[in-house]
Structure 1
Amino acid sequence: MEVRVLGPVEVLIRGTPVHLAKRQHRLILGILGIEVNRTVPSEQLIELLWPGRPPARPRAVLHSRLSELRALLRAAGDGPVHQSVATGDDGYVLRIPTPAVDAHRFGELIVDARGSTSDLRARDVLRQALGLWRGPVLGGWSLAGPAGALVSSLEAARLTAIEDLYEVELRLGNHRLIADELAALSAAHPTRDRLTSAAMLALHQSGRSAEAVSVYHQRRVWLSTELGVDPAPALQQLHVAVLRHDPALEQVSRPDQLDRPA
Structure 2
Amino acid sequence: MEVFGPLRVRVAEQEVSFGRADGRALLALLATSKDGESSESLIARLWPRDGERGVRRLETAIRDINGAMRRATGLGAEVKFVVKAEQRRSLPPVHFDVDWWRFEQAYVKANTADCDSGRREALRQMLDLYQGPFLAGRDDLWCLPLRQAALNQALTAVTQLAELERKQDPDGALGTLTLAVNRIDPHSEVLWCQIMTIQGELGRLPAVELTFRQLTERLSEIDAKPGAQARRTYERFIK
TM-score by shorter chain over 0.5: yes
The offset of 1:199, in angstroms, is 0.8
Match of 1:194 among 185, 190, 193: 190
Residue aligning to 2:101: 104
Q: How many residues align?
A: 228
> Alignment partner of 1:86: what SS?
strand
* Native 8 Å contact 1:220 1:230 kept in 2: no
In percent, how many aligned pairs have the same letter?
20
The offset of 1:27, in angstroms, is 2.7
Residue aligning to 2:46: 45
Residue aligning to 1:34: 32
Deviations 1:102-139 (A, max 9, x none): 2132122123223335434332222223222344323x
Residue aligning to 1:137: 134
Residue aligning to 1:63: 59
Match of 1:209 among 205, 229, 234: 205
* Native 8 Å contact 1:213 1:242 kept in 2: no
Note the 1:146-165 alignment, pairs <5 A: 146-165=142-161
* Native 8 Å contact 1:204 1:242 kept in 2: yes
Structure 1: tracts of 5 or more residues without a match: 245-262
Structure 2: tracts of 5 or more residues without a match: none
The offset of 1:80, in angstroms, is 5.8
Deviations 1:193-236 (A, max 9, x none): 3302211023224432133144346647848x84578323xx45
Q: Return closer, same or farther for 1:82/1:26 CA change in 2, 3 Å cut-off.
A: same
The offset of 1:64, in angstroms, is 1.6
d(CA) in 2 for partners of 1:136, 1:59: 30
Q: Return closer, same or farther for 1:16/1:85 CA change in 2, 3 Å cut-off.
A: farther
d(CA) in 2 for partners of 1:68, 1:194: 44
Residue aligning to 1:242: 237
d(CA) in 1 for partners of 2:102, 2:175: 29
Residue aligning to 2:163: 167
The offset of 1:34, in angstroms, is 0.8
* Native 8 Å contact 1:6 1:134 kept in 2: yes
Q: Return closer, same or farther for 1:79/1:142 CA change in 2, 3 Å cut-off.
A: closer
What is the TM-score with the length of structure 2 in the denominator?
0.71
The structure with more radius of gyration = 1
Q: Return closer, same or farther for 1:217/1:101 CA change in 2, 3 Å cut-off.
A: same
> Alignment partner of 2:157: what SS?
helix
> Alignment partner of 2:228: what SS?
coil
